[in-house]
Structure 1
Amino acid sequence: MAKQGATFSAFAAQGSVYRISAVVLFVWALLHFLFSPSTPNISNEEAQAASRVALQHKIETAQVGEDGFKILAKDYFEDFYGAQECKISSTRVYNPMLKSDGSLMRPYCDSKAKLLDALSGGGRVGFNAPYHPRDCEYRWFSAEEACMILDRFDAVLFIGEPRMTANIYGAFNSLLRKNLAWGALKNWELNEQQRQRCRCDAQYTNPQCGGTSTGSGDHFIVDSTEILDAKEEGTKTGAPYVCNRVFHGIVNVNSEPVAQSTLEEIDEIMTTYHKTAKPVPIILQQGLSLGFNWDRSTKVMDAVTKQIESHEPNPVHRPVLWLGPQAAGHLKPPGAIIEQGNNALHHFSIELSKRARDRGFDTLNLYNMTLQADSFDGTMYGGDVSLTTAMMILNWLSRVESL
């Protein structure tokens, strides 16, 4: 009897082992199915939905900062090269207003028109505080999400002035390279002394590093082809883009009439990269080099867009975003106050936005966003403003229609 009981216990123990093994095998199979490399790629909409869920989780687990707003638990810049060295976190420039329970106080902007109105008409709760759009929120995309947004286009083209648009395009490159230390620059051109002198905010504020008044001799990246062969972080050539499948670049325009060489450069880009029915979005900014003269700036706007129309007559396939100028800082030289002071800038923004809309363009005014931001010379702004503007442009690109 005792022998039979022992035999039964042995079988029972063996059965338990089988059951445990079966459970382990089932769990392994389930995990293998869920995380198999053969899982189909998710769509842009699904990725954005996942991003919203992730953001909500960050909000729910956030701590309240000194200004009364919650600080997101995860910083979007935490894995960016130079984030600690440059002492910049995304919460310093992007911090949505929240309710006491951690939920968003306002919804995300549900259309492109509302998005641009909100971004143009917002404000800051204190000098250099995070910028808050009016009425609804915009998103802060990860570099991977930005890649999916760019994949919807044949190319993305910035057209503007070395001392205005170049900083914004430089920040656009920093976001795609996940590099805050020198992501705007062709750092492989710099010797060690220049690399140290041009790091962090200096890449935007030091004329020996980034854009100059003439646009000559600077180290800003001009287009995405320049770092196609860039190696991994920390090497001599520096960091590549997170993705480099879609051409993007900047064409400098600082004269009226527009130079023939500039028009030929636009021709070459459109001929080379506009190969499908995907759109080629244009980000256009003008005014500083022309003293914010309404009519001369309008002539530049028309000359540039006429050249683009010769390659793509369908406006749906060449959406244009007109960028208004930044506000004048308190260090603006007295001799420039009449032509470039805030009174002149505000009227220029209103009038040129109207003319741009009359031509079917979208508009994003940067006056409110920079009115309470620190400018190092009264005209130009550093990384905080440039990165914020670049992210606003990515938000616009996410709403542009595409195939």
Structure 2
Amino acid sequence: MIRHIQGALGILLREDLGYGAVTDWNFHEPERRDCFCLNQFNVRDCSGQGIYKTADVLKHDPRGLACPKLIPGWNTDLTMEQINQFPIPVDEYTRLKNIVRMSPFQTRRAFVLGQGLWNNLDMGLTKAWLNSVLEVTREGPNKEAPTLLVTPNASGKYKQDKWIVTQGTKALAIFEEEMGHVAETYGIDSLGTWNMSIQATLYDGVHLDMRGNLLKAMMVMNWLAALEA
């Protein structure tokens, strides 16, 4: 669910609660009406139009980013690559490598890895996926780049019954704790979101709404800020 954190970070970077998470520059009037504010995350057709990289904002809405106005010379590339299966498809793995290698190495980097429910919380698959991703992100000068693993939030009352045993509240809590230990052995940080979301609004029992995702994004921002300390 890293794409929702990405969207929430977009809201913060653009200082736009209404459309900060989505590509509103190409919206027609019905989309502007239907995808406003909370619906950026709560409506499937809207959440599918999320912003995957700040380069797109700079291209289509250059005045929409708040940071360049506040910090002269600000130049941060927030980019997301979505990989939802293992073994990782060749094209997705190649795309990840290209993104990691594309940016200038003299730029400071940090990687935020998000674990969703695609593998039904299978620890073996998760560790194999994490190994493959870290092999890429730790190449060359990136070897010491700070890395944060974000585990899934708690489930809600609208979660489908067929997933309660494998992806329900108890399973998610156990998974978060175990992955915290795994992250430690890999030398990376972990961010559990079970506790912050157990009483949050999950419109479909799985995904947090804008308020919950903004909280996740602020937790990530706090982690980034701590790197500067």
TM-score tier by shorter-chain length is: over 0.9
Q: What is residue 121 of structure 2 aligned with on the other side?
A: 292
In the alignment, is residue 266 of structure 1 matched against residue 103 of structure 2?
Answer: no
Mapped to 2, the partners of 1:207 and 1:252 lie a distance apart of: 17
Give the letter aligned to residue 339 of structure 1.
T
Any conservation in 1 of the 2:137–2:143 contact (CA below 8 Å)? no
Mapped to 1, the partners of 2:4 and 2:127 lie a distance apart of: 22
Mapped to 2, the partners of 1:264 and 1:401 lie a distance apart of: 31
- Residues 232, 286 of structure 1: alpha-carbon distance in 2 compared, 3 angstrom cutoff: closer
C-alpha displacement of 1:246:
1.2
Any conservation in 2 of the 1:178–1:242 contact (CA below 8 Å)? no
Give the letter aligned to residue 89 of structure 2.
A
Mapped to 1, the partners of 2:133 and 2:111 lie a distance apart of: 10
Mapped to 2, the partners of 1:379 and 1:314 lie a distance apart of: 34
Any conservation in 1 of the 2:105–2:141 contact (CA below 8 Å)? no
Q: What is residue 359 of structure 1 aligned with on the other side?
A: 186
Q: Of 31, 39, 56, which aligns to 1:194?
A: 31
Give the letter aligned to residue 16 of structure 2.
N
Q: Of 212, 218, 224, which aligns to 1:391?
A: 218
Q: Of 178, 185, 191, which aligns to 2:22?
A: 185
Mapped to 2, the partners of 1:190 and 1:288 lie a distance apart of: 30
In the alignment, is residue 254 of structure 1 matched against residue 56 of structure 2?
Answer: no
Moved more, 197-206 or 281-290: 281-290
Q: Deviations over 1:49-94 (max 9, x none)?
A: xxxxxxxxxxxxxxxxxxxxxxxxxxxxxxxxxxxxxxxxxxxxxx
Mapped to 1, the partners of 2:132 and 2:62 lie a distance apart of: 40
Q: What is the RMSD computed on CA atoms of the aligned residues?
A: 1.7
- Residues 230, 343 of structure 1: alpha-carbon distance in 2 compared, 3 angstrom cutoff: same
Give the letter aligned to residue 204 of structure 1.
F
Q: Of 35, 43, 48, which aligns to 1:206?
A: 43
In the alignment, is residue 331 of structure 1 matched against residue 149 of structure 2?
Answer: no
C-alpha displacement of 1:241:
4.3
* 3-state SS of paired residue (1:323): strand
Mapped to 2, the partners of 1:361 and 1:400 lie a distance apart of: 13
Q: Of 35, 42, 67, which aligns to 1:242?
A: 67
* 3-state SS of paired residue (1:363): strand
Give the letter aligned to residue 305 of structure 1.
L
Point out the structure with max Rg over C-alpha. Answer: 1
* 3-state SS of paired residue (1:394): helix
- Residues 246, 306 of structure 1: alpha-carbon distance in 2 compared, 3 angstrom cutoff: same
Mapped to 1, the partners of 2:186 and 2:157 lie a distance apart of: 34
Moved more, 249-258 or 392-401: 392-401
Q: Which has the higher helix share?
A: 2
Aligned pairs, number: 224
List structure 1 runs of 4+ shifted beyond 4 angstroms: none
Q: What is residue 170 of structure 1 aligned with on the other side?
A: 7
- Residues 261, 254 of structure 1: alpha-carbon distance in 2 compared, 3 angstrom cutoff: same
C-alpha displacement of 1:400:
1.4
**Structure 1: gaps spanning 5 or more residues:** 1-163, 211-217, 234-238
Percent of aligned positions that are identical: 26
C-alpha displacement of 1:363:
1.0
Mapped to 2, the partners of 1:333 and 1:321 lie a distance apart of: 29
Give the letter aligned to residue 188 of structure 1.
W
C-alpha displacement of 1:310:
2.3
Mapped to 2, the partners of 1:311 and 1:253 lie a distance apart of: 22
Any conservation in 2 of the 1:229–1:240 contact (CA below 8 Å)? no
**Structure 2: gaps spanning 5 or more residues:** 69-73
C-alpha displacement of 1:230:
3.4
Q: What is residue 71 of structure 2 aligned with on the other side?
A: none
Q: What is residue 174 of structure 2 aligned with on the other side?
A: 347
C-alpha displacement of 1:324:
1.5
Alignment of 1:61-140 (within 5 A): none
Any conservation in 1 of the 2:100–2:136 contact (CA below 8 Å)? no
Give the letter aligned to residue 13 of structure 2.
L
